A and B are shown apart, each in its own frame.
Chain A
Amino acid sequence: MTKTWSMALLAALAVFATALPAIEVGDSGPDFKFDKSWNALEGATKLSDYRERVVLLEVWATW
Protein backbone atom coordinates (compact mmCIF):
# COMPACT_ATOMS: atom_id res chain seq x y z
CA MET A 1 0.00 0.00 0.00
CA THR A 2 2.70 2.42 1.07
CA LYS A 3 4.55 1.47 -2.09
CA THR A 4 1.52 2.28 -4.25
CA TRP A 5 1.20 5.65 -2.56
CA SER A 6 4.83 6.55 -2.97
CA MET A 7 4.65 5.51 -6.62
CA ALA A 8 1.64 7.76 -7.07
CA LEU A 9 3.47 10.59 -5.33
CA LEU A 10 6.48 10.10 -7.55
CA ALA A 11 4.28 10.12 -10.63
CA ALA A 12 2.59 13.33 -9.48
CA LEU A 13 5.97 14.95 -8.83
CA ALA A 14 7.19 13.89 -12.24
CA VAL A 15 4.19 15.62 -13.83
CA PHE A 16 4.92 18.83 -11.91
CA ALA A 17 8.61 18.69 -12.69
CA THR A 18 8.02 18.39 -16.43
CA ALA A 19 5.13 20.86 -16.78
CA LEU A 20 6.94 23.82 -18.33
CA PRO A 21 5.06 26.98 -19.14
CA ALA A 22 3.54 26.73 -22.61
CA ILE A 23 5.05 28.75 -25.45
CA GLU A 24 2.54 31.44 -26.36
CA VAL A 25 2.09 33.93 -29.19
CA GLY A 26 4.76 36.62 -28.84
CA ASP A 27 7.32 34.26 -27.25
CA SER A 28 10.48 33.18 -28.99
CA GLY A 29 10.18 29.61 -30.24
CA PRO A 30 12.84 27.52 -28.45
CA ASP A 31 15.44 25.99 -30.74
CA PHE A 32 16.00 22.23 -30.94
CA LYS A 33 18.26 19.85 -32.83
CA PHE A 34 17.04 17.40 -35.45
CA ASP A 35 17.97 13.73 -34.95
CA LYS A 36 16.92 12.91 -38.49
CA SER A 37 14.87 14.56 -41.22
CA TRP A 38 12.92 13.83 -44.38
CA ASN A 39 12.17 16.50 -47.05
CA ALA A 40 13.50 19.20 -44.74
CA LEU A 41 15.13 22.46 -45.79
CA GLU A 42 18.47 21.63 -47.37
CA GLY A 43 21.26 21.53 -44.83
CA ALA A 44 19.01 22.22 -41.84
CA THR A 45 19.99 20.42 -38.64
CA LYS A 46 18.10 22.55 -36.15
CA LEU A 47 15.01 24.75 -36.04
CA SER A 48 16.98 28.01 -36.05
CA ASP A 49 18.33 27.11 -39.50
CA TYR A 50 14.86 28.12 -40.71
CA ARG A 51 15.23 31.84 -39.96
CA GLU A 52 14.14 33.89 -42.99
CA ARG A 53 11.22 31.50 -43.38
CA VAL A 54 7.77 31.40 -41.83
CA VAL A 55 7.67 28.03 -40.07
CA LEU A 56 4.75 25.82 -39.17
CA LEU A 57 6.02 23.69 -36.32
CA GLU A 58 3.78 20.70 -35.85
CA VAL A 59 4.26 18.03 -33.20
CA TRP A 60 2.55 14.85 -34.32
CA ALA A 61 2.48 11.08 -34.00
CA THR A 62 1.80 8.35 -36.58
CA TRP A 63 -0.86 6.83 -34.33
Chain B
Amino acid sequence: MKGVPHLIELNNKFRERGFEIVAVSDEDAGTIEKFVKDKGINYGIIKASNVLKTYGGTGYPSAWVLDVEGKVIWKGHPAGLTDAMVEDWVKDLAPVKVTKEVHKVLKNAVEAYNKGEFGKAESEVDKYLSSDDPVVKADAEFVDGVIEKRRAVGEAKAAKARDLGDLPKLAKLLEAEAKAFDGSEHGKKCGEEAKSIKASKEFKDCVKAQSELDKLKPKINDMKAEKAKKALEKIARDFPNTPAGKEAAELAKDF
Protein backbone atom coordinates (compact mmCIF):
# COMPACT_ATOMS: atom_id res chain seq x y z
CA MET B 1 0.00 0.00 0.00
CA LYS B 2 1.92 3.03 -1.22
CA GLY B 3 -0.67 5.36 0.33
CA VAL B 4 0.47 4.68 3.88
CA PRO B 5 3.30 7.30 4.08
CA HIS B 6 0.93 9.95 2.73
CA LEU B 7 -1.65 9.18 5.41
CA ILE B 8 1.01 9.10 8.14
CA GLU B 9 2.11 12.55 6.99
CA LEU B 10 -1.44 13.94 7.03
CA ASN B 11 -1.97 12.39 10.45
CA ASN B 12 1.20 13.99 11.82
CA LYS B 13 0.32 17.40 10.43
CA PHE B 14 -3.37 17.62 11.19
CA ARG B 15 -4.51 15.17 13.86
CA GLU B 16 -4.05 17.59 16.71
CA ARG B 17 -6.04 20.18 14.85
CA GLY B 18 -9.11 17.96 14.71
CA PHE B 19 -8.46 15.86 11.59
CA GLU B 20 -8.91 12.13 12.18
CA ILE B 21 -8.20 9.26 9.85
CA VAL B 22 -10.51 6.26 10.08
CA ALA B 23 -9.00 3.62 7.81
CA VAL B 24 -11.30 0.63 7.61
CA SER B 25 -10.45 -2.92 6.62
CA ASP B 26 -12.54 -6.06 6.95
CA GLU B 27 -9.61 -8.46 6.92
CA ASP B 28 -8.88 -10.58 9.98
CA ALA B 29 -7.49 -8.82 13.04
CA GLY B 30 -4.13 -10.65 12.89
CA THR B 31 -3.46 -9.55 9.31
CA ILE B 32 -4.39 -5.95 10.08
CA GLU B 33 -2.33 -5.87 13.28
CA LYS B 34 0.78 -7.17 11.54
CA PHE B 35 0.38 -4.57 8.79
CA VAL B 36 -0.06 -1.74 11.30
CA LYS B 37 3.11 -2.79 13.13
CA ASP B 38 5.23 -3.47 10.05
CA LYS B 39 4.40 -0.11 8.46
CA GLY B 40 4.58 1.89 11.68
CA ILE B 41 1.07 3.24 11.15
CA ASN B 42 0.10 5.88 13.70
CA TYR B 43 -3.32 6.89 12.36
CA GLY B 44 -6.63 5.24 13.21
CA ILE B 45 -7.11 1.76 11.79
CA ILE B 46 -10.47 0.11 12.20
CA LYS B 47 -11.73 -3.40 11.60
CA ALA B 48 -15.37 -3.28 10.46
CA SER B 49 -17.47 -5.06 7.87
CA ASN B 50 -19.57 -3.90 4.94
CA VAL B 51 -18.38 -0.29 4.97
CA LEU B 52 -17.41 -0.27 1.28
CA LYS B 53 -20.84 -1.63 0.41
CA THR B 54 -22.70 0.79 2.69
CA TYR B 55 -20.86 3.75 1.18
CA GLY B 56 -21.19 2.43 -2.35
CA GLY B 57 -17.44 2.43 -2.99
CA THR B 58 -16.11 0.86 -6.14
CA GLY B 59 -12.80 -0.56 -4.94
CA TYR B 60 -9.80 -0.27 -2.66
CA PRO B 61 -8.84 2.29 -1.61
CA SER B 62 -11.88 4.57 -1.55
CA ALA B 63 -12.20 7.62 0.63
CA TRP B 64 -14.78 10.05 1.94
CA VAL B 65 -14.22 13.14 4.07
CA LEU B 66 -16.88 13.96 6.65
CA ASP B 67 -17.31 17.33 8.34
CA VAL B 68 -17.87 17.88 12.07
CA GLU B 69 -21.52 16.95 11.70
CA GLY B 70 -20.88 13.79 9.72
CA LYS B 71 -21.76 15.23 6.32
CA VAL B 72 -19.69 14.16 3.30
CA ILE B 73 -17.64 17.08 1.94
CA TRP B 74 -15.30 15.17 -0.37
CA LYS B 75 -14.98 11.74 -1.96
CA GLY B 76 -12.34 10.17 -4.12
CA HIS B 77 -9.05 8.31 -4.13
CA PRO B 78 -7.07 9.14 -0.97
CA ALA B 79 -3.99 9.97 -3.08
CA GLY B 80 -5.96 13.00 -4.30
CA LEU B 81 -5.94 14.59 -0.84
CA THR B 82 -3.54 17.50 -0.49
CA ASP B 83 -2.30 19.40 2.55
CA ALA B 84 -4.04 22.51 1.25
CA MET B 85 -7.41 20.75 1.16
CA VAL B 86 -7.08 19.45 4.70
CA GLU B 87 -5.80 22.85 5.86
CA ASP B 88 -8.95 24.42 4.46
CA TRP B 89 -11.19 21.93 6.26
CA VAL B 90 -9.55 22.30 9.66
CA LYS B 91 -8.82 26.03 9.60
CA ASP B 92 -11.98 26.96 11.47
CA LEU B 93 -11.78 24.17 14.01
CA ALA B 94 -10.50 24.99 17.45
CA PRO B 95 -7.53 22.75 18.22
CA VAL B 96 -8.60 19.56 19.91
CA LYS B 97 -5.44 19.62 21.96
CA VAL B 98 -2.91 22.33 22.61
CA THR B 99 0.52 20.86 22.03
CA LYS B 100 2.56 24.07 21.91
CA GLU B 101 5.07 24.39 24.74
CA VAL B 102 3.90 27.17 27.02
CA HIS B 103 5.37 28.85 30.08
CA LYS B 104 5.01 26.68 33.17
CA VAL B 105 2.50 28.97 34.84
CA LEU B 106 0.09 28.22 32.00
CA LYS B 107 0.43 24.43 32.19
CA ASN B 108 -2.78 24.16 34.24
CA ALA B 109 -4.68 26.17 31.66
CA VAL B 110 -3.47 23.96 28.82
CA GLU B 111 -4.18 20.81 30.79
CA ALA B 112 -7.73 21.98 31.50
CA TYR B 113 -8.26 22.89 27.84
CA ASN B 114 -7.00 19.50 26.71
CA LYS B 115 -9.47 17.83 29.05
CA GLY B 116 -12.33 19.84 27.57
CA GLU B 117 -12.69 22.01 30.68
CA PHE B 118 -12.70 25.30 28.84
CA GLY B 119 -14.23 27.35 31.66
CA LYS B 120 -11.47 26.27 33.98
CA ALA B 121 -8.86 26.95 31.30
CA GLU B 122 -10.28 30.43 30.87
CA SER B 123 -10.06 31.34 34.54
CA GLU B 124 -6.49 30.03 34.63
CA VAL B 125 -5.52 32.11 31.60
CA ASP B 126 -7.20 35.23 32.97
CA LYS B 127 -4.67 35.35 35.79
CA TYR B 128 -1.80 35.88 33.35
CA LEU B 129 -3.27 38.01 30.56
CA SER B 130 -1.86 41.18 32.10
CA SER B 131 1.39 39.65 33.31
CA ASP B 132 4.49 41.88 33.32
CA ASP B 133 6.54 39.03 31.87
CA PRO B 134 6.18 39.37 28.08
CA VAL B 135 6.72 35.61 27.55
CA VAL B 136 3.97 34.72 30.01
CA LYS B 137 1.71 37.37 28.56
CA ALA B 138 2.23 36.12 25.00
CA ASP B 139 1.56 32.52 25.99
CA ALA B 140 -1.54 33.54 27.92
CA GLU B 141 -2.80 35.42 24.86
CA PHE B 142 -2.12 32.36 22.71
CA VAL B 143 -4.13 30.03 24.95
CA ASP B 144 -6.83 32.67 25.31
CA GLY B 145 -7.06 32.78 21.50
CA VAL B 146 -7.50 29.02 21.33
CA ILE B 147 -10.30 29.13 23.89
CA GLU B 148 -11.89 32.03 22.03
CA LYS B 149 -11.84 30.01 18.82
CA ARG B 150 -13.40 27.03 20.55
CA ARG B 151 -16.13 29.29 21.90
CA ALA B 152 -16.77 30.69 18.43
CA VAL B 153 -17.13 27.16 17.02
CA GLY B 154 -19.78 26.40 19.65
CA GLU B 155 -21.56 29.68 19.01
CA ALA B 156 -21.63 29.07 15.26
CA LYS B 157 -23.27 25.71 15.85
CA ALA B 158 -25.80 27.21 18.23
CA ALA B 159 -26.56 29.98 15.74
CA LYS B 160 -27.28 27.40 13.06
CA ALA B 161 -29.69 25.50 15.30
CA ARG B 162 -31.31 28.80 16.28
CA ASP B 163 -31.80 29.75 12.61
CA LEU B 164 -33.39 26.40 11.87
CA GLY B 165 -35.69 26.75 14.87
CA ASP B 166 -34.35 23.41 16.08
CA LEU B 167 -34.85 24.13 19.76
CA PRO B 168 -34.19 20.60 21.08
CA LYS B 169 -30.82 20.59 19.32
CA LEU B 170 -30.10 24.13 20.46
CA ALA B 171 -30.89 23.30 24.08
CA LYS B 172 -28.67 20.22 23.93
CA LEU B 173 -25.81 22.21 22.40
CA LEU B 174 -26.11 24.97 24.96
CA GLU B 175 -26.17 22.49 27.83
CA ALA B 176 -23.00 20.87 26.53
CA GLU B 177 -21.37 24.30 26.19
CA ALA B 178 -22.50 25.27 29.69
CA LYS B 179 -20.81 22.16 31.05
CA ALA B 180 -17.59 22.62 29.04
CA PHE B 181 -17.39 26.31 29.96
CA ASP B 182 -18.47 25.75 33.56
CA GLY B 183 -17.04 28.42 35.83
CA SER B 184 -16.96 31.14 33.18
CA GLU B 185 -19.34 33.90 32.20
CA HIS B 186 -19.94 32.22 28.83
CA GLY B 187 -20.83 28.92 30.51
CA LYS B 188 -23.29 30.67 32.77
CA LYS B 189 -24.91 32.42 29.81
CA CYS B 190 -25.26 29.15 27.87
CA GLY B 191 -26.79 27.41 30.86
CA GLU B 192 -29.32 30.19 31.37
CA GLU B 193 -30.31 30.22 27.70
CA ALA B 194 -30.73 26.42 27.69
CA LYS B 195 -32.93 26.66 30.75
CA SER B 196 -35.18 29.35 29.33
CA ILE B 197 -35.48 27.48 26.01
CA LYS B 198 -36.52 24.30 27.76
CA ALA B 199 -39.16 26.20 29.71
CA SER B 200 -40.67 27.74 26.56
CA LYS B 201 -43.84 26.61 24.85
CA GLU B 202 -42.00 26.46 21.52
CA PHE B 203 -39.54 23.92 22.92
CA LYS B 204 -42.33 21.79 24.36
CA ASP B 205 -44.07 21.89 20.98
CA CYS B 206 -40.89 20.67 19.27
CA VAL B 207 -40.64 17.75 21.69
CA LYS B 208 -44.33 16.88 21.33
CA ALA B 209 -44.18 17.07 17.53
CA GLN B 210 -41.10 14.87 17.46
CA SER B 211 -42.66 12.30 19.74
CA GLU B 212 -45.85 12.16 17.65
CA LEU B 213 -43.84 11.82 14.45
CA ASP B 214 -41.67 9.11 16.01
CA LYS B 215 -44.81 7.20 17.01
CA LEU B 216 -46.34 7.56 13.57
CA LYS B 217 -43.30 6.73 11.44
CA PRO B 218 -43.00 2.95 12.10
CA LYS B 219 -46.69 2.48 11.26
CA ILE B 220 -46.89 4.72 8.27
CA ASN B 221 -46.13 2.22 5.51
CA ASP B 222 -48.84 -0.13 6.76
CA MET B 223 -51.45 2.61 6.73
CA LYS B 224 -53.74 3.54 3.89
CA ALA B 225 -52.15 6.41 1.95
CA GLU B 226 -55.06 8.72 2.65
CA LYS B 227 -54.90 8.06 6.39
CA ALA B 228 -51.12 8.41 6.52
CA LYS B 229 -51.30 11.74 4.71
CA LYS B 230 -53.95 13.01 7.11
CA ALA B 231 -51.96 11.94 10.18
CA LEU B 232 -48.83 13.67 8.85
CA GLU B 233 -50.74 16.80 7.94
CA LYS B 234 -52.19 16.94 11.43
CA ILE B 235 -48.71 17.00 12.97
CA ALA B 236 -47.65 19.64 10.43
CA ARG B 237 -50.73 21.73 11.26
CA ASP B 238 -50.56 21.34 15.05
CA PHE B 239 -46.83 22.14 15.20
CA PRO B 240 -46.05 24.27 12.14
CA ASN B 241 -42.85 25.91 13.37
CA THR B 242 -41.03 22.84 14.61
CA PRO B 243 -38.44 20.65 12.83
CA ALA B 244 -40.66 17.58 13.19
CA GLY B 245 -43.68 19.53 11.97
CA LYS B 246 -41.78 20.60 8.87
CA GLU B 247 -40.58 17.06 8.33
CA ALA B 248 -44.15 15.79 8.61
CA ALA B 249 -45.27 18.34 6.01
CA GLU B 250 -42.53 17.14 3.65
CA LEU B 251 -43.42 13.49 4.21
CA ALA B 252 -47.12 14.20 3.62
CA LYS B 253 -46.29 15.30 0.08
CA ASP B 254 -45.22 11.74 -0.75
CA PHE B 255 -48.70 10.37 -0.12
**Hey, which bits of chain A sit against chain B, CB under 8 A?**
18-41, 44, 47-48, 50-62
Contacts and interface: CB of A to CB of B under 8 A. Distances in A.
Interface string B42-62: 111111111111111110111
A61 to B, nearest CB: 5
Interface in B32-81: 32-33, 35-36, 41-58, 60-75, 78, 81
Contacts, number: 172
B47 A53 contact: no
Contacts of A28: 70-72
Nearest to A19: B56
A32 B31 contact: no
Contacts of B68: 51-54
Contact of B44 (A30, A31, A39): A39
Contacts of B93: 53-54
Q: Is the interface of B mostly helix, strand, loop or mixed?
A: mixed
Interface residues of B, number: 60
B152 interface: no
A55 B61 contact: no
Given A38-B41, A62-B1, 9 more contacts: A23-B56, A23-B75, A32-B48, A35-B46, A36-B32, A39-B41, A55-B20, A55-B66, A62-B32
A62 B68 CA distance: 28
Contacts of B45: 37-40
A51 B67 CA distance: 8
Which of A24, A26, A36 counts the most chain B CB atoms within 10 A?
Answer: A36
